[in-house]
């Protein structure tokens, strides 16, 4: 039998799609949902399943930003062939995304036993949700929101890319929350910070999904639950992306901060009373 049923895969796909790009921690919400459904959060096949269905959410980004991605990749290809094209911002931006992905890949490979083991605890998720909320609240207030996407440089992209490591080591901190907060502290406006977070998520999350595929299938998750979870996460994530970009253009991140603290405190209560296991 598959370690995850089709019904559970559908629910987890919805949770992944809704939370992957919102700064509320998709990993944290997946682990909470798995815990409530009695699924062992540190099972290798479950960890692999969570990584694989992220590919559905990443596919939603590829579709939503298709024109932008084609423009950037085309500029990169032209720059490789023609020295004169290398002064184009899109050519340089493509390289910056590649370079900014290297740190999280190296840390992910080196720290995998910790990430899949002790750091997968729901206690870590609860603490990271609350701690990450404080960082986001401070970043939203300290940042001057005066720089747009075209003002993004190599230093910005590297710092924002490296911040993904926080979410990798501390599930609950949120990859989107970490990247958006760092971008805000670098004075990017909320829309530019959100779009940069999307772009940086494409190689990092796609690589994680491909890397974990063998563990998800080989350790007991069937192909059907994987396919269902991935498809559902794609559809829901597409709607989530469209909503988030409209929301951040007019609102602060306060609602996400309050929500994260509430979920973190609720999780601490559930763990403390033994309703769910860590």
- Asked if residue 158 lies in contact with residue 92, where contact means CB atoms within 8 angstroms, the answer is no
Burial letters 175-209, b for 16+ CB under 10 A, else e = bbbbbbbbbbbbbbbbbbbbbbbbbbbbbbbbbbb
Residue-wise pLDDT for 165-223, tens only, equals: 998 899 889 899 999 999 999 999 999 999 999 999 889 888 877 777 666 665 567 78
Rounded to whole angstroms, the Cα distance separating 1 from 103 reads: 37
pLDDT for res 249: 93
pTM: 0.88
pLDDT for res 55: 84
Q: Which residue has the tokens 């062939």?
A: 81
Rounded to whole angstroms, the Cα distance separating 266 from 268 reads: 5
Please give the C-alpha separations between residue 138 and each of 11, 83, 132, 253, 254, in angstroms, as whole numbers: 33, 42, 10, 10, 10
Residue-wise pLDDT for 8-58, tens only, equals: 999 999 999 999 899 998 878 888 898 888 887 767 777 778 888 888 998
pLDDT for res 214: 67
Q: Could you tell me what percent of the chain has a pLDDT over 70?
A: 96
- Asked if residue 205 lies in contact with residue 56, where contact means CB atoms within 8 angstroms, the answer is no
Is 2's pLDDT higher than 90? no
Burial letters 116-149, b for 16+ CB under 10 A, else e = beebbbbebbbbbbbbbbebbbebbeebeeebeb
């Amino acid at each position: 039998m598959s370690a995850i049923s089709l019904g559970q895969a559908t629910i987890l796909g919805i949770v992944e799609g809704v939370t992957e790009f919102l700064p509320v921690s998709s990993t944290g919400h997946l682990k909470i949902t798995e815990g409530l459904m009695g699924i062992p959060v540190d099972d290798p096949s479950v960890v692999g399943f969570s990584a694989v269905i992220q590919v559905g959410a990443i596919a939603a980004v590829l579709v939503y930003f298709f024109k932008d991605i084609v423009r950037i990749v085309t500029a990169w290809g032209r720059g490789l062939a023609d020295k004169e094209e290398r002064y184009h911002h899109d050519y340089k931006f493509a390289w910056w995304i590649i370079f900014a992905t290297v740190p999280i890949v190296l840390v992910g490979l080196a720290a995998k036993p910790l990430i899949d083991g002790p750091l997968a605890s729901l206690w870590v998720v609860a603490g990271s949700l609350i701690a990450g909320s404080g960082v986001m609240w401070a970043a939203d207030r300290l940042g001057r929101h005066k720089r747009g996407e075209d003002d993004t440089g190599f230093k910005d992209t590297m710092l924002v890319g490296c911040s993904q490591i926080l979410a990798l080591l501390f599930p609950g901190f949120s990859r989107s929350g970490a990247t958006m907060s760092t971008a805000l502290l670098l004075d990017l406006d909320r829309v530019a910070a959100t779009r940069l977070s999307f772009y940086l998520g494409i190689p990092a999350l796609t690589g994680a999904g491909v890397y974990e595929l063998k563990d998800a299938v080989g350790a007991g998750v069937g192909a059907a639950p994987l396919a269902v979870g991935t498809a559902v996460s794609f559809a829901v994530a597409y709607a989530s992306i469209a909503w988030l970009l409209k929301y951040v253009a007019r609102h602060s991140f306060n609602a996400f901060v309050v929500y994260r603290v509430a979920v973190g405190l609720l999780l601490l209560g559930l763990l403390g009373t033994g309703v769910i296991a860590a």
